[in-house]
Amino acid sequence: MQEFRGLGLGAGSGGQGAGGNRWRMRELAESEHFDWPIFRRALRAFVPYWPYTIVVTIVILAVSLGGAIPAWLTQKIIDEGIQRRDMSLIVEYTLALIGVSIGTGLLGVLQSYLSNLIAQNVMADYRIAIFRHLQRQTVGFFASRQSGDLVSRVTNDVTAIQSVVTSTLVGFVSNLLSIAATLFLMFSMNWRLAVLAVVVVPGFVIPTQRVGKSRQQLQGQIQQWLSKMTVQLSESLGVSGALLIRIFNRQGPEEKEFAESNRTLRDLQVRQALVGRWLFMWLSMFSSIGPALLWGYGGWLVVKGDIGLGVIVAFTALLSRLYGPLSQLAQLHVSILSSVALFRRIFGIMDVEPEVVDGTRAIPDNSVQGSLRLEGVSFSYAPSPRETRAEGPAAANGRSRLPGGGTGGGMGEVGGTPERPAERWALREIDLSIEPGETVALVGPSGAGKTTLLNLIPRFSDPAEGRLLLDGTDTRTLTLHALRAQMGLVPQDPFFFHDTVANNLRLAKDTATIEEMEAACRAAQIHETIAALPEGYDTVVGERGYRLSGGERQRLAIARVLLQGPKIVLLDEATSALDTVIERKIQDALAVLLEGRTALVIAHRLSTILKADKIVVMERGRVAAVGTHAELVARDPLYKQLYETQFHVEAELEGR
Ligand code: ATP
């Protein structure tokens, strides 16, 4: 069976798991050329482990020789022991045979230990490097990519490095050495039989190579369809997808689509199994032809008295040690291409330069006044990978619910040159000054650029033009750590990790005592709610944890910022209407939060704009007007309209 191992016909090498390395396989199916620079760069990761590499090479050499020696010893037992009826020689060689087998077995264990050690070290290095690199990326980077794809690169792709080491690198060295050791032994025993053994080689190698490639291509297609199914399953079995399907009565078409993928997958898998079976038959035939020829020609040589019977027996044993490794070497290019595709994906992420570069200036504690100034700030979103590369996974999957394209961001090459045509500015020439302790309310129609502006303050992105100043210092010169330590953010829909309330609060201040947390939560009007939870501050909340309502989440987020105690507060008010009691609680919490702090608030509540020192009206990325409520109602038609449509209703409701 050894000669079939490399073809995936042996045990346990059938196919990849459904989720597994599907993108790797798809790219593998697509990759036609060998990319030497990527391969060289990939090998660099192994450099720190060169001592292990040297030892493992020596061990592989010993294992390869050890694997060939039993055939030679068998020949000795037959020709020198049995034929000459020398019992002591028989015992000697038999003991040697046992010794060599045990030794080779032990060395084999050492070899797999060392190669795993190298692979696991390289994998850990890559995982850490990618994770560290991703931590330096901007929020926009994550907004334009599927999180599943990034997770897959850190886990599946990196995990597949294991097979690169064990099958590609170790496989290459060990097959080469096995062939060399076997040929050496064959030619030293009898060159004529050795030539005969080699003559049969093309019969193995050529079909193996062909079938290996087509199996690999079929495997790539299978992975594509598996991935299409995975996407469909995860979309339609998630709460939001399930809701969408039901409300639009799409169960029928969804079932049809799923059945279609299944049928295609079934056909592909039958084809793949058959390709293997035909080859199996061919190889079984050929693996009998080789020994048959040997017995025929070798038998004639034995009869002539040129060689002993043991030579033929040894040769037939050596044949499998020649054909197996040769078949595997013949397919090596496929696995090398697959490794290159794998590393290309990994490097694709590692080569994305973070858009926001860290500054160098620290800010001494408690020295921030809290004045903010924006000078001629313009910003445009870089085209997302989906825009720059049409063939994203969804497109490749053929699963596109949107008329224009895919279901999510592209997964491929990242970066790209941001084009900034005039009409695509999200913010244009913004000048704004906020004094320490001032509350500024941002209002404007949807899409006016309010969130974009808010995100520039803590440098989630940098403006394309203009600059932002904190206490007169360009924020680009400050370290991100120092800058963000001065800012608290309360988003519209705050996020909490799947962890306890206390640990979620400690994100803001990891040394916070329970008393401090309680004080912050009391100020944010959320303490009573938390105290009433099953385990109080130790209740697990967040994703799939205890579900907090929208209003509770906002107040908990306010408590978190209070605990942090920043000089500047960035707040995106919730839009949802709340009952008067909750509304009052939020207003009270906000009053504490904004007290004595510089605040930039995307305002959705009348009470907030009425309390603001200054209201900034935004329209299509520009500042349309600045003033107080009374001034703006009197002179700005856009504000008047916003007030009448968004805030006036609320005022009327409150007045009732
Ligand atoms: P809303 O009140 O509806 O939240 P907004 O005033 O906060 O709107 P922004 O979210 O800042 O508006 O969006 C400004 C413009 O930038 C919009 O045209 C929006 O489509 C675009 N935009 C926002 N986020 C992105 C993004 N990640 N990539 C590309 N364009 C974006």
117-131 pLDDT, tens digit per residue, is 998 899 899 999 999
User: CA-to-CA distance for 520 and 559, rounded, in angstroms?
Assistant: 5
pLDDT at 467 over 90: yes
Ligand 1 pocket mutation, candidates 146, 420, 451, 604, criterion most atoms within 8 A of CB: 451
Ligand 1 closest atom vs CA 143 = 27
Mean pLDDT value of segment 629-643: 87
Mutate which of 139, 146, 381 for ligand 1? The one with the most ligand atoms within 8 Å of its CB, which is 381
The domain ranges of the chain are: 36-211+276-350, 380-398+410-425, 435-486+567-579+586-656, 495-565
For residue 145, the 8-state DSSP code is: S
- Rounded to the nearest angstrom, the distance between the alpha carbon of 18 and the centre of ligand 1 is 36
CB 39 within 8 A of CB 87: no
Q: Is pLDDT at 649 greater than 60 in this prediction?
A: no
Average pLDDT for 98-111: 93
Domain 495-565 has CATH 3.40.50.300: yes
Q: How far is the CA of 619 from the centre of ligand 1 (A)?
A: 12
CA-proximal residue: ligand 1, atom 9 (nearest): 449
Tens of pLDDT, residues 497-518: 888 999 999 998 888 899 999 9
Q: Read off the pLDDT band of 368 (50, 70, 90).
A: confident
Please tell me whether residue 563 adopts helix, strand or coil conformation: helix
pLDDT (tens digit, 9 = 90+) per residue, 607-616?
Answer: 888 888 999 9
- Closest ligand 1 atom to Cα of 452: 11
**Residues whose CB is less than 8 angstroms from the CB of residue 606 and which lie 6 or more positions away in sequence, other chains included:** 647, 648, 650, 651, 654
- What are the structure tokens assigned to 453, written together? 């502006």
Spacing, Cα 573 to ligand 1 middle (Å): 16
pLDDT of 405 above 50: no
Tell whether domain 435-486+567-579+586-656 is in CATH 3.40.50.300. yes
621 Cα nearest atom in ligand 1: 14
- Determine the pLDDT at residue 576: 61
Instruction: Answer yes or no: is pLDDT of 653 > 60.
Output: no
pLDDT of res. 397 = 39
Q: Show the 3-state SS of 30-87.
A: HCCCCCHHHHHHHHHCCHHHHHHHHHHHHHHHHHHHHHHHHHHHHHHHHHHHHCCCCH
DSSP-H helix ranges across 487-549? 501-506, 514-523, 527-531
Higher pLDDT, residue 37 or 147: 37
Residue nearest to atom 11 of ligand 1 (CA): 449
Segment 197-219 shows an average pLDDT of 76
* Interatomic CA distance for residues 317 and 311, integer angstroms: 10
pLDDT given for residue 20 in this prediction: 38
Q: Would strands 540-541 and 499-500 be described as parallel, antiparallel, or unpaired?
A: antiparallel
Ligand 1 atom at minimum distance from 448 CA? 6
Where residue 28 falls among pLDDT bands split at 50, 70, 90? very low
Domains 435-486+567-579+586-656 and 495-565 share a fold: yes
Residue nearest to ligand 1 atom 2, measured at CA: 446
Specify the pLDDT at position 387. 38
H or E segment to which residue 237 belongs: helix 201-237
- Structure confidence by residue, pLDDT tens digits, 235-256: 787 777 788 888 888 889 999 9
* For the CA of 442, the nearest atom of ligand 1: 6
User: Probe ligand 1: pick from 452, 601, 645, max atoms within 8 Å of CB?
Assistant: 452
Mean pLDDT over 151-171 rounds to 76
In CATH terms, the fold of domain 36-211+276-350 is ABC transporter transmembrane region fold (1.20.1560)
Reported as a pLDDT band with limits 50, 70 and 90, residue 404 is: very low
| Poorest-pLDDT segment among 86-95, 148-157, 423-432 | 148-157
Distance between start and end Cα atoms, the chain: 86
**Whose Cα sits closest to atom 1 in ligand 1?**
446
What pLDDT, in 10s, does the model give residues 287-322? 778 888 889 999 999 999 888 899 999 998 888 888
Ligand 1 binding site (Cβ under 6 Å of any ligand atom)? 140, 143, 381, 426, 444, 446-452
Q: How far is the C-alpha of 491 from the C-alpha of 606, rounded, in Å? A: 18
Name the closest-CA residue to atom 31, ligand 1.
Answer: 381
Answer whether residue 621 shows pLDDT above 50: yes
Distance 460 CA to ligand 1 centre (A): 14
Report the predicted TM-score, pTM, of the whole model to 2 decimal places: 0.71
- Check residue 348 and give its pLDDT: 85
**pLDDT tens digits, 546-598:** 678 878 888 899 999 999 888 899 998 876 656 677 777 777 888 888 888 99
**Separation of CA 453 and ligand 1 centre (Å):** 10
Q: Residue 367's pLDDT band (boundaries 50, 70, 90)? A: confident
CA distances from 124 to 39, 46, 155 (A): 19, 12, 10
pLDDT score for 26: 45
Query: Measuring from atom 19 of ligand 1, which residue has the nearest CA?
Result: 447
- What confidence tier does 362 reach under pLDDT thresholds 50, 70, 90? confident
Distance between CA 396 and CA 414 in Å, rounded? 17
What percent of the chain is predicted at pLDDT more than 70? 84
CA 5 – ligand 1 centroid, Å: 55
Q: How high does pLDDT run on average in the chain? A: 80
The C-alpha atoms of residue 151 and residue 524 are separated, in whole angstroms, by 35
Ligand 1 geometric centre to CA of 581 (Å):
32
- Which sign does the torsion angle of CA 418, 424, 426, 432 carry? positive
pLDDT at position 32, please? 54
Residue 648: per-residue pLDDT: 54
Q: Is the pLDDT of residue 338 over 60?
A: yes
Give the per-residue SS3 of 294-339: HHHHHHHHHHHCCCCHHHHHHHHHHHHHHHHHHHHHHCHHHHHHHH
State the pLDDT confidence band at 113, using cuts at 50, 70 and 90.
very high
Q: 435: number of CA atoms within 13 Å, CB side?
A: 4
Residues 6+ apart with CB under 8 A from 89: 76, 77, 80, 81
Between the CA of 446 and the centroid of ligand 1 the distance, in Å, is 8
Who has greater pLDDT, 656 or 521? 521
Tally the residues of the chain: 656
Phi, psi of 433 (to 5 degrees): -130, 130
Cα-to-centroid distance, 447 and ligand 1 (Å): 5
383 DSSP 8-state letter: P
pLDDT at 274 over 90: no
